[in-house]
Structure formats: C-alpha cells, structure tokens
A = this chain, B = another copy of it.
Amino acid sequence: MDEIKEECGVFGIYHNPEAASLAYFGLHALQHRGQEGAGIATADGKDIYCFKGRGLLASVFEQGGLAGLKGGNSVGHVRYGTEGGNEIENVQPMVARAQIGSIAVVHNGQIANAGELRCELENNGSIFRGTSDSEIILHMIQRRKGPLLRKIQEACKKLDGAFSFLILTEKNLYAIRDKNGLRPLSIARLNEGYCLSSESCAFEAIGAKFLRDVRPGEVIKLSEKGMESSFYTEETQHRICAMEYIYFSRPDSNVEGLNVHTVRKKCGKIMAMKDRDGLAADIVVGVPDSSLSAAMGYSEASGLPCEMGLIKNRYVGRTFIKPTQRLRDMGVKMKLSVNVSVVAGKRVVLIDDSLVRGTTSRYIVQLLKEASAKEVHLRIASPAIIYPCFYGVDTSTQQELISYRLSSAALREYVGADSLRFLSLEDLQRACGGNCCFACFNGEYVTPLYCHGEKSK
C-alpha cells in the first residue's frame, strides 16, 4: 500500500512511582506512529534499565518486560522502521553505558547532515552499531565536554534537520526540540511530576494536564529543582511538519495549538467550497481512518451526504498461505473493502488525505468502479507532493513521487478517476496556519541540504 509512514513517537515520565507502566500506556496511545519496534528505559537514581524489541508494543512486553523497569523516571519509543533498517540495533531507547554515568535516548525525526556527522565521528574512532540517527545523537553528546546540559546544547548546534528527543540519565530527564520545531513535542503535568509526549493524545490517556509545546530550540531539564528551560540557539522559528496535520497525528491530538481533526475537517470544507459550482455528485466517501474528518468537512460544506462507502477491517490480517496471485489480491482486501450497496450507481466524491506514489488511490478507485460506482471524483485533502522530505517522512526519492512525474491530466488517468483535484497550498495554509514546513509541496527547505556527503546549498 502507498502509505506515508509515521516517523516514531517518544514519550517520557519524570517523577512518578509508576513510571514504566505510565510509559506503556502513553506509548499505546502513540502506537499509530510506529509498529515495528518499541521500548522503555527507566531510571531510579542509580542505574538505567531498558527493555525493547521488534514489533508492536503489546507483543514486545507480553512476556513480562515491564517487571524489571524500576524507578520513577522513564522514556519510551515506538518505532517505524524502513525496510532493511529494522534490526534490533535500531530499536530505541538507545542506552550508552559509561563510567561517568549512563544515558538513554529516544528520538523522533531525521538528521539531515547524518552522513557528514557519521563520517566525522568514525574518523575520530566512534563505532556505530546500527543505522539510526539516534546513535549519532548519543555520540555527538558524549563527545562534548562539561556538564550534560552543555554537552546537549553543543551537540544540537551541530545537528541540522528534524529532531525531538528525550535524554534520560540516572537522575534527570531532558527534552529537546530542533530550532525549526519540525517534529512535535509537548509537556504536561502529572501530579508532582511531568510528562512528555510526541502528541497530546497520550496525555489524555494517562490523565496528565497539557502544559505547552516544547519550543523550537528549547532544552528542558527536569530535575530535583523542577523544570528549567534553556535554548541551544537563538535562531528559531516555528515550522512544524504539515504532514502532522494531514496524516500522522491522531485526530484527538492538538499540534501547535490546533486540533488535528478540526484542521482536517477544515481542509475538507475548503475543498468542497472550491468544488461548489462544478461538481455534481451524490455522496461523499472518505478513505478510513485518516480521511474521515476531511470527508465530514466536505459533506458539511457541500451538503452532499457522507457515507461509509469503504470499510477498514479492524483485525490484523495475516496471510499464511503461499499465495497465488488470486490469494494475494484477497490479502489486500483483508484490509479494506468497499460497501457495494452504498456506492453502486452513485457519483462518488472520494476523499483521501494525500497522494504519494498513487498506487493506493488507483486501487481504491478501481474497487469503487468494480462496485458499480457511476463516477469517482478524487479529492486529495492536501497539495501535490513534488519534493522529497529530508526530515523524517518516508516519501522516498523524487522519482517515486507521482505528482512530480505526471501531469495533472496523466495523473487523473493513471488513478482512473473521473476528476481529480488537490487542495491548494494556500488553502492548506488557511487550514493549518502558515507556520509549517511545506517543503514537500513547495521545495522551501528550512535547513541546508546535503548530498553525497556534502552540503549542497
């Protein structure tokens, strides 16, 4: 399937007797951000304990891994892993055991100058065990001198790109966000302590009270002295990744103050208003789950009824059969099926959140046509993606981006829709505000770019 993949979620607890259990619950609420690996590290003032593994959170911990995670502070991680990079070495938290004290790091994002930094570190004798950027962060920090806070700040100055990470020491907890604020990170109060999360929905899950987003360039230190804030640079700006609104975050999360469901619904409404005069249709159908909010918005603004024309199977479907092509097709149908009675003979406005390689949209349009939909008008609730992302969104190379390769007409033909329209960038900005990174739509990258090991710009 042609899904954009989420790029991990981080979660942390400072000062709570149930730090490991709370991290488990918090990560469960972030599970949509990564299903290939999960782990939790805790600290009890004397040592750091860590348990992690490949797969879903619940299966990683089903054999009792929580039992050994002692202490009142914790950090946790759910991981999305690219193919080939899903070795156990890349699963987080990453722990460095040093005689001056151990630290554990969990990280969400992508370091744009990872290749350069890695080269430099290796030349100075560092060893890398996996391919994860988190390992670079560990090295960058440990190589600096002075107290840990200063080491973190010095390290961050060298990091270009998107990063929100947590550092757990034997006694304290640090939260850091890159100077453009590309990846989300928020802080909440939980009784006498604190809680950190990639998304605010995890605060709700454990009853923590949202305090504020961590600020671009900010380094928060949680210690016996409470919460102390500092900045590793003064050159900051708010450039949260627009994809957090469009696809990644859960509808009940607030990202930089805006509710995700509400932003998506607004996108749907705006699209409907643009279609107002031209589009004669019978029903609106959203691709579950991430496009349902936009479909509701489109329905509301257009007056067309919103229908459940596509159904997502809630159960994990595994194919144990060495499949013929026929059985392989069924494997795909295990995930998504069309509600034939609802769409047959209808002119359908099909709402999808985004379009990357085009294969999923093409497949869904075909499903609807086979189910006798009279017309299928595809509306993408975000602009065409024509630039690659270097900040953690797995949209691969520019050549794979179908909006880059094909003209609008050719694209419509490829997906098989009767009409196709994207949300314009301006309209997206109306919905989610201008303070986002829109680089995948307009090529305006917020950091220098690197290419073959050299800064290209």
- Residues of A in contact with B (beta carbons under 8 Å apart): 18, 21-22, 24-25, 28-29, 31-32, 35, 50-53, 56-58, 61-62, 64, 66, 87-89, 94-100, 118-119, 122, 124-131, 138-139, 142-143, 201, 204-207, 250-252, 254, 259, 261-262, 265, 289, 292-293, 296, 299-300, 305-308, 311, 313-318, 320-321, 324, 326-327, 329-330, 333-334, 337-342
Contacts and interface: CB of A to CB of B under 8 A. Distances in A.
Contact of A97 (B28, B51, B129, B261): B129
A35, A50, A128 interface centre (most CB from chain B within 10 Å) = A128
Contacts of A118: 99
B320 A61 contact: yes
A56, A64, A289 interface centre (most CB from chain B within 10 Å) = A289
Contacts of A317: 28, 58
A87 to B, nearest CB: 6
B339 A252 contact: yes
A61 B320 CA distance: 8
A53 B342 contact: no
Contacts of A204: 333, 337-338, 340
27 contacts: A18-B327, A25-B334, A28-B334, A31-B313, A31-B315, A35-B315, A51-B87, A53-B88, A61-B320, A89-B95, A89-B97, A98-B122, A125-B126, A126-B126, A129-B129, A204-B338, A204-B340, A205-B337, A207-B330, A259-B341, A261-B341, A261-B342, A262-B342, A289-B314, A296-B306, A299-B300, A299-B306
A21 B204 CA distance: 42
Given A138-B127, A205-B334, A58 B98 contact: no
Contact of A292 (B35, B57, B308, B334): B308
Given A127-B139, A251-B339, A305-B300, A327 B21 contact: yes
A55 B129 CA distance: 21
B201 A330 contact: no
Given A129-B129, A142-B125, A204-B338, A119 B99 contact: yes
B320 A28 contact: no
Contacts of A24: 320-321
Given A320-B61, A321-B66, A327-B18, A98 B128 contact: yes
Closest A-B pairs by Cβ, 7 of them: A252-B339, A259-B341, A31-B315, A96-B127, A252-B311, A261-B308, A21-B321
A127, A305, A311, A338 interface centre (most CB from chain B within 10 Å) = A127
A58 to B, nearest CB: 5
A51, A326, A338 interface centre (most CB from chain B within 10 Å) = A326
A119 B97 CA distance: 11
A151 to B, nearest CB: 11
